[in-house]
Copies of this chain bind each other. A is one copy, B any other.
Amino acid sequence: MCKCNNSYRDDKLHHECGVLGIYGVEDAAGLAYYGLHALQHRGQQGCGIVTVDADGDFHRVKGEGLVTEVFNEAKMAKLPGKMAIGHVRYSNAGCKGTENLQPFLFHHNSGDFALANNGQIVNYHQLRDELEDRGSLFQSSSDAEVLAHLIKKQKFEKDTPRIYALKAALNQIDGAFACVVMTGRRIYACRDKNGFHPLAIGKLGEGYVVASETCAFDVLGAEYIRDVEPGEIVTLDHHGIRSQFYAETERHAMCAMEYVYFARPDSDIEGCNVHNYRKESGRILAKEAPADADIVIGVPDSSLSAAQGYAEASGLPYEMGLIKSKYVGRTFILPTQSLREKGVKMKLSPVKTIVKGKRVVLVDDSIVRGTTSLKIVKMLREAGAAEVHVRIASAPLKYTCYYGVDVHTPQELISNSNSVEQVCKLIDADSLAFLSHEGMYKAGKRQDLCIACFNHQYPTNLYEEEK
C-alpha cells in the first residue's frame, strides 16, 4: 500500500491490487496478460509484467492504465521467457507515478530479482527508517520496495542462500502481504502469517500459475491445486512445487471483504466460491431481516449474487431494477454539473417499468459513506418505487483497515457514529438491515475471517503512527 497521505475518497472501498506468477510455460508473458486481465477488477490504475528469458535476463513492461491499455503486441514481443510475474494496481490519487508501479525490478551483483506484492506492511515506517539510516535509497513509496531492501540486506550481511534471506526478511514484517518474488531461476510465492489476502496455486500445462484469485486459472485453462498457506513460502522451479514455512500461522484471518465485495464471483477463496458466499449471505440476510415487499433487486454488479440469494430465500421475484453503464476506460466524458442537473445519470439507472409501483427490497454489499445509497434510494423513488427496503449483505462498517484496504477514516464511515436507525433515515430508506457478524461467518462456513473493520478486533499489533 502506498504511504503518501493524499488519498482519493469515493463511496466504495478499494482492493489493493492483484499479483500473478507463471512458471515454466512457453510465452509466459502472453499467459500473464490474460491472467492480469482476469484480475483487472483488483486494480485499474496501472499494471506490469516482468519476465525472465532462457539466459536469465529480465525484461519488463509496465505503465499506467488498464491491462489492455498498457500492453500491445509490440510490447508483448519484448517479454520473452517461460517465467513471468505480473501486477495490477489500485492507487489513491496521490501515489500515482511510474515509480510506484509493480513489479519492481532490482539489479544486484548477487543476482537480479523482481517482486510484486498485494498488501500493507504495518511496520513499514519503522523498517524504512532503519533501512534509510543504513544507507538504503528508495525510489518509490511502496511496501514492495521495503521488502526488497530487507531481502537484500539479509543477503549482504549474512551471506546466506536466498531462501534464508527471504525467510529472515519476511519475519521482520508485521501486517498483510501476498507476494511473488522472481529470481533468474525460480518464483517464490509468499503469504503473511495471518493469511489476510488470497493467493492460490494452479497447474498450467507443464508449469504452474500463482494468482491472487482463481478466476485467473479458469481463463488460462489452469487446474487449481491449493492455496498458499499463511506463513508459507512456496517455491516454483524445475523441482516443481516445494514448501517451507518461515513462520507459524498466528491466527488465520482472511479478509471478509474479499468475499463480500472485492473478489470476482467466479473465484474460489480457500475452498469457498465467492458467488456461493454471496448468495448464501443473501439467504441468511433474508432470514435475519425479511421484508414485506414485491420484488428484490441488487446493486450491480457486486450485489447481484446476494440479491438472488435473498430472492430465493424470501420467495420474492428477483428483478433487474437497476442498470449499470459500462464505462469504457478513462476516456469517458463526465457529465457537467449542468447535465447532471438535467438528469444525466452517471453509473446507475433505474428501470422504470420494473420498479414502478413496486415495494422494492434493495440488496447492496456494504454501506461506506452512505452517499451512494441515498442516491439509489432517491432514484428508485423517482422511478416510482412504492417502498424501498435496504438490506446490506455485510455488517455495519465502522473502523479503518491496516491491511491493504483503502478504507476511509472512521469519521467518514456512516456507521461509525450512527445507529442503524439513524443510517436508515440518512439514506431515506423505508427500512434498513445489515447482516450480523455471525451471518458473515456462517455464509462462508468459517470463523477465521478478519472482520476488524466491522468489529475492531485487529489480528496483529498496530504501530504507533498507524494508530
Contacts and interface: CB of A to CB of B under 8 A. Distances in A.
A197 to B, nearest CB: 20
Interface string A107-132: 11110000000000000000011001
Contacts of A26: 338
A137 B349 contact: no
Contacts of A141: 107
A59 to B, nearest CB: 9
Contact of A62 (B73, B98, B132, B149): B98
Given A26-B338, A108-B138, A266 B323 contact: yes
A323 B222 contact: no
A398 interface: no
Contacts of A317: 312
Interface of A: 25-27, 30-31, 33-34, 37-38, 60, 62-63, 66, 68-69, 71-73, 76, 97-99, 104-110, 128-129, 132-141, 148-149, 152-153, 156-157, 204-205, 215, 218-222, 224, 264-266, 268, 273, 275-276, 305, 308, 312, 317-320, 323, 325-329, 331-333, 335-336, 338-339, 342-345, 349-354
A31 B26 CA distance: 40
A47 to B, nearest CB: 13
Specify how many copies of this chain sit in the oligomer: 4
Given A27-B338, A71-B333, A138-B107, A34 B344 contact: yes
Contacts of A354: 266, 273, 275-276
- Taking chain A's interface residues, is the majority helix, strand, or loop, or is none over half, making it mixed? mixed
Given A69-B331, A325-B37, A219 B107 contact: no
B139 A218 contact: no
A250 to B, nearest CB: 28
B335 A30 contact: yes
20 contacts: A25-B342, A30-B339, A30-B344, A60-B99, A66-B328, A72-B331, A99-B105, A104-B139, A109-B129, A133-B156, A136-B137, A137-B149, A204-B342, A205-B342, A218-B345, A220-B345, A264-B323, A265-B323, A273-B353, A312-B317
Nearest to A130: B109
Given A108-B137, A305-B320, A30 B336 contact: yes
A393 B429 CA distance: 37
Nearest to A278: B320
A34 B138 contact: no
A31 B333 contact: no
Given A69-B331, A342-B31, A156 B134 contact: yes
A362 B422 CA distance: 45
Given A68-B327, A265-B323, 8 more contacts: A63-B98, A135-B135, A205-B342, A220-B343, A224-B352, A273-B354, A276-B353, A328-B328
A223 B176 CA distance: 50
Contacts of A107: 137-141
Contact of A275 (B60, B138, B320): B320
Contact of A218 (B97, B156, B323): B323
A158 B134 CA distance: 12
Nearest to A135: B156
A157 B110 CA distance: 23
Nearest to A48: B98
B106 A132 contact: no
B276 A97 contact: no
A275 B318 CA distance: 12
